[in-house]
Structure 1
Amino acid sequence: MRAADHPYFDNDGPIALAHRGGSFYAPNIGRENTIAAFAEAVSLGYRYLETDVHATADGRLVAFHDDRLERVTDGRGAIASLPYAEVDRARTVGGDAIPLLDDVLDAFPETRFNIDCKAPGAVAPLLDAVARHNAYDRVCLASFSAKRLTQLRAGGGTRLATSAGPRGVVALRFTPHLVSRLLHSGAPVLQIPVTHELRGRALRTFTEGLLGRAHALGKQVHIWTIDDPAEMHRLLDLGVDGLVTDRIDVLADVLAERGHPLTPPT
């Protein structure tokens, strides 16, 4: 699939993605992946939000990054081993509940989501949620697991946009003769960091050559997670298609400087 063939990627200018709603934006600190954090990003004009999903022990799909509750809430335990009723009692430092993905999609019907499937148990509920909301045109599904990506593509079919998994990215960057594998993955976008940890070594993942090969295949390239304005400008100057950031205020200013201001809702 080429990015131009999927409505998710239809955007005027670079795609700005608010990482977990914008974790380092002052009003969102300690409130990542909550309705309140997403609302802050949308109020700044963000049309694309990044989030993560886990499934509870009884199969409810929640927007949450960690597999455990402790880091950002007053709850305890692994989400996969807890019933939703217990997860729902946890609160962030701002008093926010952990939202269901259903509630997130309902709350922001005009917003597009990059959704990272964090656990095997989340695959089926995620596909069900996308189908239930008929959200095929406004989601892109991602995972660090090649197996989960394969399952998501098999379950979602050609209507569903997915990102290239780590194996595809490494193949495209370091072994050009394996490009055809990525081409046949169906992924219209590479979502990568500037560097990639491989066998204990920090290797430079993003290069101009990689960008050129991806664009030749009709793929977009989104870089995560970029919070420094100079680095934002450098990557945009090179022609990357999207940036994922925790500093949603900084990226908004950078895009405005470059003639692509975000448009807050009226």
Structure 2
Amino acid sequence: MRIVAVFGAGKLGEVLLSGLLRAGWSPDRLVATARRPERARELTERYGIRVVTNETALREADVITIAVKPQDAGVLLEDLGPKMPANKLVVSMCAGLPTSFFAKYLPEGTPVVRVMTNTPALVDEAMTAISAGSFATAEHLQVAEEMFRPLGRTIRLPETQQDAVTALSGSGPAYFYFLVEAMTDAGILLGLPRQVAHDLIVQTAIGSAVMLRESGEHPVKLREAVTSPAGTTINAIRELENHGVRAALLSALEAARDRAREIAAQS
């Protein structure tokens, strides 16, 4: 029975823990660490898992999952590195940090798998990208997939593409929420009650996403099916283009990717 330890069970670590438990994992297969005693009690009461010291987690777990903030990873790894058994798999959930960062602290040959998931993991609809470090094998990738598949969909990618993944899907939910917020305000401007506007937009977003996934059609084709000649939709799209919405999205995602690279450079 493989045991997974989550180091730094904050919001991100809790997403993984709760998802695995919803998927049927026994609490006996999970341990966590937490800096604050009140957080440790909260996790134990909420999920029935043990919250232990770093040393105990290292000794008992087969998979060491690092879920701390990127700026805190170095301090944690300085503590873990000298104590890390050589046969452990390390899974990083730290945005922006390459596997080479972990190699500076861990014993030579330690396999590291880098993952980028997103907050829809809370409803089992995450998109998780998984990449192998220098010493990670196909078997290690499979272990990571087994961990994150209950949270949604997984995909294997070269690590060189992880900064783009961070910008696109890691931060992606925020862009959709921003769009829903703006469209809700537009609905109010057009005379709808806020809740009505919200419900209309959310269901439209869900339906559109399902159509994209299930139909396999290119988004342009689906958009054209809604866009009648001289109709309402084409007039709205013209305004979006006039205001540079497409260009703004391209610039926004480039900025997110560049920030991910900055985090790596500063580490």
Instruction: Name the one with the larger strand percent.
Output: 1
Relative contact order: is structure 1 or structure 2 higher (C-alpha 8 Å, sep ≥ 6)? 1
- Considering the TM-score relative to the shorter chain, is it more than 0.5? no
Q: Which has the larger radius of gyration?
A: 2
Query: Which TM class, normalised by the smaller chain length?
Result: 0.3 to 0.5
Please report the TM-score for the alignment, with normalisation by the length of structure 1: 0.33
Please report the TM-score for the alignment, with normalisation by the length of structure 2: 0.33
